[in-house]
A and B are shown apart, each in its own frame.
Chain A
Amino acid sequence: MSSPLCLRCLRRSLQPLDHHAASVQRAAFSTTPALGALPPKKKGAANTKPTMRGGSSLKLTKNTRVASGRPPAPGERKALRKRVVLSNTNAIEVRHLQDLTKDLCKDVSALTEAHGKVVGLENETVDAMRALEAFKATQGWNLFRRPAVLVRKETIEMAETLHDAQSKKKTVSKVLYGSRGSGKSVLQLQAMALAQQRGWIVLHFPEAKELTIGHAAYEPVITENGTEYIQPGYTAHLLGNFARANKAVLSKLHLSQQHKLPIPIQPDITLDRFIELGANDPEIAWPIWSAMMIELTAPSKSDKGLQRPPLFVGLDGLDHIMRDSAYLDMDAKPVHAHSLTLVRDFVGLLSGSTKLPNGGMVVAAVSESNRARAPTLDYCLETNSGESKPLWDPYMPQDDRVISAFKNVPVQLINGLSKDEARGIMEYYAQSGMLRSTVTDLLVSETWTLAGNGLIGEVERGSVRMRM
């Protein structure tokens, strides 16, 4: 069959070649006319029937696959696996459930009163968090009527820190680590919800793993640090999430500086429309990302000028970016994760080398499920926690870039809940109809102990999921 491509200029032919009519007579590169006569029949071949088995492999009737129905489209099965369900219509709606309103977020003393209680997330917050991919499929949101979170001790501390950072216009970095199921990612989500309700701009890297495992396209760029790598497709994806989550705030901000961009941009464009341009076209995603970072980290104008809100930056799965990535450079050597420009920008914010003049907070959480091996990170966490000075194996090279990034970063160990907090969340389970027993001191104490001294993920597993 002849190709619709023109072989001389490699362009698609505008008129489709009429190969249905002509292909029988016309051979590709031959002027010889096709033979009209049929090939002569062989003598023996006329009598032999076609055999049941063609080929040399054994074919049984059982082996034939019967294709039934439509095969799944590419990515459909994964989408089903990763689907985040935030509501269970069967669950009982908890009466008198307090909401995490704007007033409650801004008033730390009111939040302190709600300590040990469960508060529901408002629809606006839920939409923003969903856009940022902060909810995860493994977190048990699908069991309850609507998304709600427990106000724990660390939540109140986080609210105080946010209040401080906004009022004093300072940048606070924090790395959350702790056992699996201790609630690091959900605490990060709570911090984001608090920031969003306070009117901050929230930027979130939902899975650091996706940045470094080599599944996203990358290309080298020359910068002042040498060769670094941009990920155009993933950058566009992040920009899209960011624009959707912060539409209300970004639509009030305008582009204030001149940037070198590959496309003409109307001056005084609102930031959300500007970012959407990058989200729609991976080709220009990276220049738009760099321009956006400059805009967001620029100081506010004094008095009546442009006032920029504080910035919250989150990243989940810090262990994946504190090591070599799965990408290879020109010499087929592994690329360090900090040489990826997206990671470089985040690490700059985390370590404090990029300042946030309007105030802000950078929170990174270490992931304990499917954790990447990062010995230097472990060393830094132990050192910065101040509990002990760990020993380093002298025969193993240390990752200097990780060490320098962690120089002044405070780390916070997330432990289990207190028994009062555990009682609060278990009462919520019982009120939702998911825990079918009376919440007594004995039950709380038993669950708390079996859950590794109140790890919230284990409390949920012990009282809802695996309680049969």
Chain B
Amino acid sequence: MAPGPVLRVLAFRPARQVLTASRQCAQRPFANGRQYAAATNTPNKLPTAPKGETNGPNTHQQEHVSEEAAKMAEITGGKGPDIDGQGTPVQDILKQDPEALKNAPQIVKDEMKKNSAVSAASGTKTGTRSFSTMARRLQTEVSPSASVADVDPAILSSMTLNSSETALTAGHKFPLPTLPLGPQANKDTRYDPVVQLVTNLIMREGKKATAQRNMSVILTHLRTASAPTYSRARSLLPGAPPASHLPLHPILYLTLAIDSVAPLLRIRNQRGAAGGGVALQIPVPLGLRQRRRIAFNWILDAASKRVNRGSGRDGFATRVAEEIVAVVEGRSGVWEKRAAVHRLATTARSNLTFGARRR
């Protein structure tokens, strides 16, 4: 899966139906003059309809919003919405009713025929536009997050914070957020995506708070340890910042280490495909999250094989942090694992046509 920005414009959307329903619920008892069993506190007594009322359920509907607004405007002397002018055009009724079309005036018939001829000539189907709104919709949603993507991941949180603060408008206690909201403005995405992924990978026995604590130990270690020295043999991701910048951007440090050793492919063993019960090795491309997951699991494996020099609860987290530093400095054995996978994938690339051959 591509690391595309989350296509989310509004953090919350007013649920219209729910709102009207609750309004009905709140007002109906008073409108009907009924008392419900729960309200009277007599559970044995069933509710009875008041005498002389023959209405069934849903007969006392609320007025339409625009009707209500029109009435209100009439009272206050203003100009409300035009209800009468919004009737259904006769052409639409005639389209539905072929019997009525036969008896329609000739001028109407001619006009309708002309319109249908024009639409057939232009080749547009009914209910479609000649232009795409998709591109425009994507444009509005992607552009702010695209501008965010080329800034440091470490200051993302501050950017979203700043973008959510605008000038106070009259009548609002707190400043309104600018829309569309940033990629991390949702309440459920509190942490950086890499941090979230790594925290969940560190977690054992479902102890998330412990994992978060370990995560903070790792980041503190990256902050306080001396800046790494890049190795020439192992090239990191292109565009990596100077090594001296990393300690002050611990999340960038972590992301750089993980993304640099992340494998591009994995080997899928297709059983029996090579003939004679031998598995055929087929390289499969990986998505960003999968790549990061595999890379960090390798780092965890390497960290667990390190010797714990201290004692106490932060031992493992410290070893993981040391391994991350080792990855960036090119000392870690994780690089070998990545190279091995890539080598195998290169030799096995002739098997990529396996599916096509079978057909």
Chain A residues within CB distance 8 Å of chain B: 68-69, 72, 77-78, 80-81, 85, 88-92, 142-143, 433-434, 436-438, 440, 442-443, 465-468
Contact = CB atoms under 8 A, between A and B. Distances in A.
A85 B224 contact: yes
Contacts of A77: 309-311
15 contacts: A77-B311, A85-B224, A90-B224, A91-B248, A142-B224, A143-B220, A436-B249, A437-B157, A437-B158, A438-B158, A438-B161, A440-B161, A466-B216, A468-B216, A468-B219
A466 B190 CA distance: 11
B297 interface: no
A436 B226 contact: no
A88 B157 contact: no
B249 A468 contact: no
A286 B312 CA distance: 33
B213 to A, nearest CB: 8
A80 B310 contact: yes
Given A436-B155, A468-B195, A443 B307 contact: no
B194 to A, nearest CB: 9
B226 A468 contact: no
Interface centre among A85, A434, A437, A468 (most CB of B within 10 A): A468
Contacts of B309: 72, 77, 80
A218 B221 CA distance: 39
A125 B80 CA distance: 76
B310 A69 contact: no
B248 A88 contact: no
A367 to B, nearest CB: 18
Interface in B296-314: 307, 309-312, 314
B247 interface: yes
Report whether over half of chain B's contact residues are helix, strand or loop; otherwise say mixed: helix
Interface string B176-217: 000000000000000110010000000000000000100110
Contact of B162 (A78, A81, A438): A438
Contacts of A69: 307
B165 interface: yes
B154 interface: yes
Given A68-B307, A466-B212, A440 B165 contact: yes
A92 B223 CA distance: 11
Can you list the 9 inter-chain pairs with the closest CB atoms, starting with the nearest?
A437-B158, A90-B247, A80-B310, A77-B311, A81-B312, A468-B195, A433-B248, A468-B191, A465-B216
A442 B191 CA distance: 19
B155 A468 contact: no
A85 B220 CA distance: 13
B248 to A, nearest CB: 5
Contacts of A442: 161, 165
B195 A143 contact: no
A434 B222 CA distance: 12
A80 B227 contact: no
Contacts of B212: 466
B251 interface: yes
Interface in B242-279: 247-249, 251
B219 A90 contact: no
B121 to A, nearest CB: 58
A437 B312 contact: no
Contact of A80 (B158, B195, B311): B311
Contacts of A91: 223, 248
B112 to A, nearest CB: 59
Interface centre among B161, B212, B224 (most CB of A within 10 A): B224
Nearest to B310: A80
Contacts of B248: 90-92, 433, 436
Contacts of B219: 468
Nearest to A71: B307
A309 B247 CA distance: 45
A90 B227 contact: yes
Contacts of B162: 437-438, 440
Nearest to A142: B224
Given A89-B226, A90-B248, A143-B224, 11 more contacts: A69-B307, A78-B311, A90-B247, A142-B224, A433-B248, A436-B249, A440-B162, A443-B161, A466-B216, A468-B191, A468-B251
Contacts of A433: 248
Contacts of B224: 85, 88, 90, 142-143
Contacts of A143: 220, 223-224
A466 to B, nearest CB: 5
Contacts of B195: 468
Contacts of B249: 436
A92 B249 CA distance: 12
Contact of A436 (B158, B310, B312): B158
Contacts of A436: 154-155, 157-158, 248-249
Contact of A465 (B192, B220, B247): B220
Contacts of B158: 436-438
A95 B262 CA distance: 40
Contacts of A92: 248
B177 to A, nearest CB: 11
A89 to B, nearest CB: 7
